[in-house]
Chain A
Amino acid sequence: QQQVKQSPQSLIVQKGGISIINCAYENTAFDYFPWYQQFPGKGPALLIAIRPDVSEKKEGRFTISFNKSAKQFSLHIMDSQPGDSATYFCAASKDFGNEKLTFGTGTRLTIIP
């Protein structure tokens, strides 16, 4: 199975709040899990990525939590700002990113004042 399921489809968070987006995968051969941010009319940009040998990775306001046994991973955006309003995609690949990415369906995040 190559599917990566992402939820929610859309999310509205107040400025300063925590945005949480979840993903689940089925293929246990996946070993690289990146998150991408995409603004309208632009290509995706890598936010943060994790490998399954760690359960959490933090970079600034962005944190990935990874649960290998549940085959789930999530993105947490702390202190959410209006500039974070974008579409977020989780993805997964094999061979530590050397192979093609399988993308989730995307989450449209809106941060309101």
Chain B
Amino acid sequence: GAVVSQHPSWVICKSGTSVKIECRSLDFQATTMFWYRQFPKQSLMLMATSNEGSKATYEQGVEKDKFLINHASLTLSTLTVTSAHPEDSSFYICSAYGKVYNTEAFFGQGTRLTVV
């Protein structure tokens, strides 16, 4: 299958700072990328859907000014957590969907964010 690389794998930041997480599709062009958030022992919660070159579509209850998503190219999407607070600590996962692979969306390895 295709490879989706997420960076960094883990990050610790101070409260009030911003953190950027990258999601790259390494061997295919991702027409759509999805960003999820997962709390310990819980399911994945979709935060937003982004299509290359257009604004992301956020799920209800997700603050778009806090979680900035950019999908500038067919192989890269970024999630920036702005003015992070301890309650933003979570496991963030991206997935990428490319028409080459038809129905399958491939997931990154996730980023563990800890805000102190």
User: Taking A46-B1, A89-B43 as contacts, is the C-beta distance between A97 and B104 under 8 angstroms?
Assistant: yes
Q: Which of B42, B44, B112 interacts with A41 by CB under 8 Å?
A: B112
Mask of A17-46 contacts with B, CB within 8 angstroms, 1/0: 000000000000000101010000111111
The reply to whether A101 and B43 form a contact with Cβ atoms under 8 Å apart is no
Interface status of B67 (Cβ within 8 A of chain A): no
User: Taking A89-B44, A103-B43 as contacts, is the C-beta distance between A43 and B6 under 8 angstroms?
Assistant: yes
Q: Which of A41, A46, A97, A100 interacts with B102 by CB under 8 Å?
A: A97
Min CB–CB distance A57 → chain B (angstroms): 13
Min CB–CB distance A105 → chain B (angstroms): 5
CA distance A104 to B107 in the complex (A): 16
Enumerate B69-98 residues with CB–CB distance to A below 8 Å: 91, 93, 95, 97
Min CB–CB distance A100 → chain B (angstroms): 6
Interface status of B103 (Cβ within 8 A of chain A): yes
Interface status of B105 (Cβ within 8 A of chain A): yes
Q: Which of A32, A45, A49, A97 interacts with B107 by CB under 8 Å?
A: A45
The reply to whether B110 and A49 form a contact with Cβ atoms under 8 Å apart is no
Chain B: interface residue total (CB-CB under 8 A): 25
The reply to whether A43 and B109 form a contact with Cβ atoms under 8 Å apart is yes
The reply to whether B112 and A105 form a contact with Cβ atoms under 8 Å apart is no
Residues of B near A98 (CB, < 8 A) are 32, 97, 103
Closest chain B residue, CB of each to CB of A44: B107
The reply to whether A96 and B103 form a contact with Cβ atoms under 8 Å apart is yes
Interface status of B25 (Cβ within 8 A of chain A): no
The reply to whether A49 and B104 form a contact with Cβ atoms under 8 Å apart is yes
The reply to whether B109 and A46 form a contact with Cβ atoms under 8 Å apart is no
CA distance A84 to B13 in the complex (A): 34
Besides A43-B4, A43-B107, A96-B102, 7 more A-B contacts (Cβ < 8 Å) are A41-B110, A42-B110, A49-B103, A97-B103, A100-B34, A101-B34, A106-B43
Which residues in A have some Cβ–Cβ distance to B below 8 Å? 32, 34, 36, 41-46, 49, 89, 96-98, 100-101, 103-106, 108
